[in-house]
Amino acid sequence: MKKIIIPIKGMHCASCAITTEKALQNKSGVVKANVNFATERATVEYDEAKIDQGSLAQAIRDNGYEPVLHETGSHSAPGQSMEHAGHEMSGAKSDSSSGSHLSHGGYVDRKGLIIASILVIPLVLSMFIMPDVGVILGRPAWLVLDLLAAWFLVGWFGRHFHHGTWNELKHRRANMDTLVTVGTGSALLWSTYALYAGRENEVYFEVAGIIIIFLLLGKYLEARQRMKAGAAIQALLGLHAKFAHRLKADGTTEDVDPNSLVVGDICLVKPGERIPIDGEVIEGATSIDESMLTGEPIPVEKNAGDKVYGATVNGTGAFNLRVTVLPGQTALDAIVATVEHALSTKSPVEKIVDKISSVFVPIVILIALISFIAWLLLGASFGDAIRHAVAVLIVACPCAMGLATPAAIMVGTGAGAKKGILVKDGSALEAARGINMVVFDKTGTLTEGKPTVTDVISAGGNDDTLLRIAASLEAASEHPLATAVLAAAQARSLAKLPVSDFSAVPGQGIRGVIEDKTALLGKPEWIFPVIGANDNPLINELRAAAKTVMAVAFDGKFVGLIAAQDKPKADAVEAIRTLKAMGIETALLTGDSQATAEAVAESLGITTVLAEVSPTGKADVIKSLQAQKKEVAFVGDGLNDAPALAQSDLGIAIGTGTDVAIATGQLVIMGGSPTKAAEAIRLSRLTFRAIKQNLFWAFIYNVIGIPLAALGLLNPIFAGLAMAFSSVSVLSNSLRIARRMK
């Protein structure tokens, strides 16, 4: 199975995207196809054993549109999770970069728009005065000038509309172009006949010509707004470094393409440069601006052994970097792949709009035909009946409906990426609108995830023996507490003992055999019943101080207690306060003891505590909250919290680096700041509010405009103006999301 993104040129409205999507889905070997009208791209999942990329491109051509095939830069692709720009397609290479092909404009450039505006001047004047400048072939010269201007405007400057109409007719379909061609063509042909027949009072050359100008202006502005809407995503694609200083065996450097680097290469990174690829600092120290990953402007200090990420910006220090990933597998590539995926999926509301759009144009044509016949039956002149029908055709705008949802998602996704919030699925932005409770995992989410041992209390007075047994068991564990115990043992220079028959009991503890004797480490509630020991009064005292307590047993006897503490993140209190201000309830969900969890929750201002829950039981807790009519967002690390993230109404995963690619959540927070959970929900609410506003304006244009036009209350020229700016208003409203998230 493979996935490919194919930019498509020539789609002019939502129905174009829908028919292209159906054409791809009908091909044998295509598992899933999605065509996004806002970004003008098709995302196709297919079985390469049954169909190749060339056949996919041909399917788009056969449907009447053109895949954008040309050479691309080495870093325009989203990464290894997708087929991308480096793959051959029909003898050329495909560009999967988000929105770059939208710059083609499609209908008219600025120069053409100026020329067309000059040509329309006599048509505009004809609406107010009719200058007497003589006669040509027995007809008023000014009307003959209007005829020539209108034919040139409709025939030449409107040719893209007519080309689209012809393309749709060949496939027995209709779209926005059909409405324009039929509308302006009808007005132009009738006016030409009326002038020839001496019925000068029934000519409407200005209607046809001015409508084309308005539509071209609308399309020109729409193209510019689309580029603005995709600017944040385009910025991601341009962040990769252009070269790397690779160290040679003799100690000198050579400048190479970052794509040529392999794991293990050593590169010199100079002050002020972009880091060429993900790696590890092996020599030197510096501070690095990682805002493109995390959205946080404060530089991060880096020393030997620290990870660094490609495309982040080095500060004032030079350092040597060891490459740890292959090109195309960097954190930035994972981010771009995530954004690409979000743009290639449709939210539930978008699917509904698609169904409406698919039947919209035929219904409008039917209404225009009924209006034309009705006006004739009511005694209107043939010219007036045509004028009213033209108004119906021109005021209808399926473009605005097609752009309403994807444009908002595109802007919202880009705005989130700039702030370190990655939207993995467009439906997440819709899901967040009703969230009234946010449940946080504790370790690594609200706390630093780096606990340190604070107390070593042995039952027999030998703290070193207690710590040596604990460290020997923890050496085989990956739990954060294991790191703390090992660090404490190392600080005392305690040698670890060999362990056999190691096993872990999820959510409880670990066991192993040391010197032929069973050793246990874990929750006191798990260990004490096993060895027949009584509760130690120190346990509650330690837990009340927000410490996690581990009991250690050896050879069936209680050896002692080890307490560790994981400090809350500096901005955790602010995160809880912000969510409360938004009217959202917060809760803490952890496997830690009730006393420890309550102590942490109290320090952060959280009132609901759900403690002593195993990793597998977290999903059940989320389900029980949902049964209480709560719409729950869960914030966790995306690994052991995967079931809870999947069960929640909105999963928000804490991710860093390439973990983004495997995070379970619908939203991914880079850098780990819990305050971004509130920002993510705010982003989601802003985006969905924009979608609702866009759909309102898209539909209101038609709900009001079409009846007014059919009743003869809307001049075709004003209908053209309304149609031209409906899409622009939808895009402009979507851009407000980015402004409000700054």
Catalytic residue annotation? 441
Q: How crowded is the C-beta side of 451, counted as CA atoms within 13 Å?
A: 27
> Helix, strand, coil proportions of the chain in percent (round to 5)?
50, 20, 30
**Contact by Cβ (8 Å): 281, 268:** no
Residues 6 or more apart whose Cβ sits within 8 Å of residue 285: 301, 302, 303, 304, 317, 319
**Contact by Cβ (8 Å): 542, 561:** yes
Task: Using alpha carbons only, give the angle 284, 286, 292 rounded to the nearest 5 degrees.
Answer: 130
- DSSP letters, 633-670, are EEEE-SSTTHHHHHHSSEEEEEE-GGGGGG--SSEEEE
Q: How far apart are alpha carbons 235 and 256 in whole angstroms? A: 23
Strand pairing report for 266-269 and 300-302: unpaired
- The sign of the dihedral angle between the CA atoms of 183, 188, 191, 197 is negative
The torsion angle over the Cα atoms of residues 318, 324, 325 and 331, rounded to 10 degrees, is -60
Residues 6 or more apart whose Cβ sits within 8 Å of residue 448: 566, 567, 568, 569
Residue 16, helix vs strand vs coil? helix
Per-residue H/E/C for 380-423: CCHHHHHHHHHHHHHHCCHHHHHHHHHHHHHHHHHHHHHCCEEE
What value does the CA radius of gyration of the chain take, rounded to a whole number of Å?
A: 33
